Structure 1
């Protein structure tokens, strides 16, 4: 993040949502969420279809009004308590899933359109368009038309058109979902670079976990209209606060069990699982403080934190299948009551149906209620 953006965080959030709620079709789609996005920060709303993330973005953009709560942009009330500022007065930039570029206008004219409508003089328009064309690496494509561009290049035009207006806040609604895997990775890198160089405040909606983990300063994981956890990508992945977050963000093995001991000072719980023995797990402090002996809990084991061996310590499992994923091998194992997955750079040499020993990295064992 740019230094100036970090310094700006000391003032007030660029975007503040307070008790935000919305009902659509008689159903509560967004249910009282609170969220603060700091200046220069990229916050990702991550969740499955229907969780309320796009509805939240549309309320921030001014396309729909909240039924409850408030939205403040740069400290100014833009929605709630009888206020509803029109979209064009919210100083926002928006990039959508569809490229939404005008096919009859050149790249230059697509980007310059908003500046001209805003009444900027010719020299200002020329200079600012040239700067953003260089920023998105399209400076040699200014005279081309969208039909002559790839999907990734068209999305860069859409991004440049949003950035050129120098918005206070840049909104993204699944902007990479229409691109193939290679272009998604390329554009993701471009967005990381743009965020790093310009320090633009971003609110980004996606259901793609890799996108969220790669781009976000913080991730808000949404489920059924609520934010289940709001934290850094590392904390979301390594220290999920609920079963939903653990299972939705990345691959996770959840072993069911009960609390048999607590260590409040070390924030650890001893969990006795139903089929795989006992684990000493780290856990969220609130869970450690409120969990009682005998309460149900689940041990979270990430596949990359498991080690397999033909013999040795650990719990026993039966090898079902091995899949080559390019950068690792994924081994599917059967345990009483279900299946688990392990990932490693090296393939375990064992026949299907063989019994293997599974051990977990003790520093990576986590527990959720």
Structure 2
């Protein structure tokens, strides 16, 4: 397979991650802070030495049993959070720096720079100094700089996290054009970015892969705690019944479309805004663990269940930690599936 194969083992960082990216794929690498995502990217780029494992790019081993190939010869393009453009060079010369450093003539470097700037719709910035650029413009130039070197793999390490919402849209569009037809890894905390750019998702926690699947699978039917949190869903384990799921913590949630054979281990996913919290009535009984504001709502954590209720509802219920509450979810909002999907 052309593309990227990497088994990254970094013992001092407790990272042991295997990832494969097809020739036309963008794989999103997601996980909590400190999970090891950036360490994987740095190892593939050659900025961190492997302790074990190996890295193969476009059929060529660049790290492993033999002496590692230096970063500038790996044909890896890296776009990080900050553009870090050379302040004393124009935009065109910034973008042409990579081709020029690799031995191409000045004319070839200029052509490569203009072609790369055209990809990210930034040709008009060619003569500008980096200090005159907005954050979004500078990041589009950074993407062009990575493309101008003709990378076999593109690594995007939270490329929009330092930008405002408006700038993110233009940079995201540039990224979509840049990754077309080349293997790419996207590290991000933004689900919108994953939906817009990635074909597959790999979830990493504590330096290990805990979930992998297509974007639709991981965001729609997550099997890991972080995958669920990332997609905005509540995820609870239990046993399949003829009508839904018997929760491990007691009680049941009905599903409008139960598809798993009764008796097997399953997961139930629902959006917390669909849950209804009452002092009495039907539904599983749980003890409130915490109450916290969240995006204009109030998040109620009760046992392993989660509900997002309005401020008015929370005030009316006068909820406090330690209270017993009933939590129900409409059957049409509950998706029950096997852990292996």
Please give the TM-score of this superposition, normalised by the length of structure 1: 0.75
- Asked if 2 retains the 8 angstrom alpha-carbon contact of 1:272 and 1:279, the reply is no
More strand by share: 1
How much does 1:145 deviate? Answer: 0.3
Structure 1 equivalent of residue 272 of structure 2: 303
- Asked if 1 retains the 8 angstrom alpha-carbon contact of 2:253 and 2:328, the reply is no
Structure 1 equivalent of residue 84 of structure 2: 100
Partners of 1:365 and 1:61 lie apart in 2 by 40
Is 1:353 aligned to 2:317, yes or no?
yes
SS of residue in 2 equivalent to 1:361: helix
CA deviation string 1:122-144 (max 9, x = no partner): 43233222222222222222111
Q: Which runs of 5+ in 2 are unaligned?
A: 319-325
Structure 2 equivalent of residue 364 of structure 1: 335
How much does 1:244 deviate? Answer: 3.8
Is 1:340 aligned to 2:320, yes or no?
no
How much does 1:146 deviate? Answer: 0.7
Structure 2 equivalent of residue 271 of structure 1: 246
Partners of 1:284 and 1:184 lie apart in 2 by 39
Shift of the 232–356 alpha-carbon distance from structure 1 to 2, 3 Å rule, reads closer
Partners of 2:121 and 2:152 lie apart in 1 by 22
Q: Which runs of 5+ in 1 are unaligned?
A: 1-11
Partners of 2:207 and 2:166 lie apart in 1 by 32
Shift of the 349–341 alpha-carbon distance from structure 1 to 2, 3 Å rule, reads closer
Structure 2 equivalent of residue 201 of structure 1: 183
Structure 1 equivalent of residue 20 of structure 2: 36
How much does 1:357 deviate? Answer: 6.3
Is 1:252 aligned to 2:241, yes or no?
no
SS of residue in 2 equivalent to 1:140: helix
Number of matched pairs: 329
- Asked if 1 retains the 8 angstrom alpha-carbon contact of 2:31 and 2:203, the reply is yes
- Asked if 2 retains the 8 angstrom alpha-carbon contact of 1:271 and 1:299, the reply is no
- Asked if 1 retains the 8 angstrom alpha-carbon contact of 2:136 and 2:163, the reply is yes
How much does 1:111 deviate? Answer: 0.9
Please give the TM-score of this superposition, normalised by the length of structure 2: 0.80
How much does 1:46 deviate? Answer: 0.7
**C-alpha RMSD of the superposition:** 3.8
Partners of 1:70 and 1:284 lie apart in 2 by 41
Shift of the 244–122 alpha-carbon distance from structure 1 to 2, 3 Å rule, reads closer
Shift of the 356–239 alpha-carbon distance from structure 1 to 2, 3 Å rule, reads closer
Partners of 2:56 and 2:189 lie apart in 1 by 25
1:232-247 residue pairs with structure 2 within 5 A? 232-247=214-229
Partners of 2:174 and 2:299 lie apart in 1 by 35
How much does 1:333 deviate? Answer: 5.6
